[in-house]
A and B are shown apart, each in its own frame.
Chain A
Amino acid sequence: MTATASVLAPDRGGALRPRGSRVRWTFTDALTMTWRNLVGYTRVPEAIFFSSVQPIMFVLLFRYVFAGAIQVPGPGGYVDYMMPGIFVQTVAFGSVATAIGLSEDLQKGLIERFRALPMARSAVLAGRTTADLVRNVLVVCLMTGVGYLVGFRVTTDVFSFLAGALVLLLFGYALSWGFATIGLSAPTSETAQLMSFPLLFPLTFASSAFVPVASMPGWLQAFALHQPLSLAVNAARSLMVGGPYHNPGSVWQSVAWSVGIFAVLSPLAVWRYRRTA
């Protein structure tokens, strides 16, 4: 090997120094990081496979084990009731991947490299959450297919269904920013995962996702009726299934919650990222 001067010479005049506005770099840096994370996902197909197995298991579990024991008002039966719940649960659980991914970047020292680059400070987080949003889109498509196989039918129209999907994806995206902070705070990725579930379980199961809230004890109803995951489920159910679940108010409430969660938790995550060293 010979050291080639033209390859190694520094750019002392600053000819390669970045041009263009800060706003533009904030956007393209996030895009580069999104690309990097998505390529990373495709390089570990086992992880993609097994992360889709779990929601499929939940579909089968609720469709064939619990369905008979749960009374719901809709004409489509329990499968129509539960599928919006499954969608929201899937994107909510998916946000744990955000925590794990960031925690691994931190452990491997990659964040150190990024911190010494002239990239936007938000890009590591924006790239991770956006990649996880893309993954959520794919998982929701997959779950729609699985739902159809076990008898789920959209009883509104395709645009309402897509609107419902948008509402719940927005919720998942907002939640990702919250879990980003956990990922940056946890000492290991295993810990990040363990820290996430005590938050996710009450959100997911003390909610309207799988059982009517009216069947819960009163004190729990107070929480289950008003917490954001229930509202996301109600919104999705209203838009995807309609009928007795028609509830346009929940759509706006859910969107408001998601925007609120994002507005509060994304600065927190960026703050945590800046302090991480």
Chain B
Amino acid sequence: MADGTAILAEGLVKQFGRRSKGAVRALDGVSLRVAEGTILGLLGPNGAGKTTAVRILSTILAPDGGHASILGHDVVAEADVVRQLIGLAGQFATVDENLTGHENLRMVGRLSHLPASVARARADELLGQFGLADAAARPLKTYSGGMRRRLDVAAALVGRPPVLFLDEPTTGLDPQSRQDLWQVIETLVATGSTVLLTTQYLEEADRLADRVAVVDQGHVIAEGTPAELKAGLGRTVVEVTLPDAEAARRAAGVLGEAVGRTPVTDGAVVELTTEDGPRLGAEVLRALDHHQITVAGMALREPSLDDVFLSLTGHRTGADEAEPAP
């Protein structure tokens, strides 16, 4: 496409269930733009709407409002064209239990309308790429969860699609497999693919994504490069645990004045983010000691997705209702 946009979503709305029975707005006006040859990380907790967005962009689900296009082709009106341009690796490893790894990839190849010989060769080289060559002739029943996950990603790549949707591809993978998959994703993009990656891990988005969109309760609440997002957050989180919530409130008031930052309070825990953790930690302890507030515990740590959320939304991840089952 002329302007180099691979994935475009404008004001996507999706509602599940009937209005009268308390409908769930899974997406409430989501807009995204992913440039060709880049990775967008869609970051958010379970139930944020990530998977719903991916299902609409990959033509599985029709939106209730808004529109979306892949390389300029509308996902509803030109679904047939879009399906030739995309590869999808789902959150749940969607491969056929009864077939072998090789048969699964061949099936996807044939259904992507590759000639039989090409489908066979593609199956061979992808099984090799994903370290599954030894398991190629084994039925899926004998595969571990990580092996299925890898086969699922391989299946998305069979037709060499220029646009890929990877829905939490590393969830449940061991650290080595995760590293391997990260390398694969980097190579995909280096060779010109466009990737929309959903993840719950800030670390993953940080490592892979050119841009990150943070999704919460059907809205994009922040968008930018990983550096931009983290800049607003600080490098280190100082976490102080007080004996109870009342003490935490008092501590927050004290710290707000003493260190010149507004802390976030969550139950008996008070959190501050900073560029210089140890110095702020010392300041915090001095201020609390001065006001004779007893501290039950204190920790310095890297900011997590939870912290991004807490600072962006004022609530923690994980408290949302689960995404409706497919």
Contact = CB atoms under 8 A, between A and B. Distances in A.
Contacts of A5: 187, 190-191
B96 A36 contact: yes
A117 B103 CA distance: 16
B90 A112 contact: yes
Interface in B190-227: 190-193
Contact of B155 (A8, A40, A113, A115): A113
A148 B59 CA distance: 53
Contacts of B283: none
Interface string B90-112: 10101111110001000110111
Nearest to B177: A1
B186 interface: yes
B275 interface: no
The CB with the most chain A CB atoms within 10 A, among B55, B113, B125, B184, is that of B113
B252 interface: no
Contact of A3 (B111, B118, B186): B186
A25 B155 CA distance: 20
Interface stretch (B18-26, B81-89, B236-244, B297-305): B81-89
Nearest to B57: A116
Interface stretch (B42-50, B157-165, B262-270, B308-316): B157-165
A110 B96 contact: yes
A117 B98 contact: no
A222 B149 CA distance: 56
Main secondary structure of the interface of A (DSSP, over half): loop
Interface residues of B, number: 52
A215 interface: no
Nearest to A22: B80
A2 B128 CA distance: 10
Nearest to B190: A5
A8 B192 CA distance: 10
B99 A32 contact: no
Contacts of A198: none
B150 to A, nearest CB: 10
Interface residues of A, number: 40
Interface string A4-34: 1101111110001111100001001100110
Given A4-B129, A40-B96, A43-B139, A10 B187 contact: no
A277 B55 contact: yes
Contacts of B155: 113
A213 B76 CA distance: 53
Given A3-B183, A20-B113, A116-B58, A10 B188 contact: yes
A120 to B, nearest CB: 9
A3 B113 contact: no
22 contacts: A1-B180, A4-B187, A5-B187, A5-B190, A7-B126, A7-B128, A8-B184, A8-B187, A8-B188, A18-B112, A20-B113, A29-B111, A32-B111, A40-B98, A43-B98, A112-B94, A112-B326, A115-B60, A118-B112, A123-B111, A277-B61, A277-B62
8 nearest CB pairs, A to B? A18-B113, A11-B160, A40-B98, A3-B187, A9-B191, A118-B83, A109-B94, A119-B111
Interface of B: 55, 58-62, 80, 83-84, 86, 88, 90, 92, 94-99, 103, 107-108, 110-114, 118, 125-126, 128-131, 139, 155, 157, 159-162, 180, 183-184, 186-188, 190-193, 326
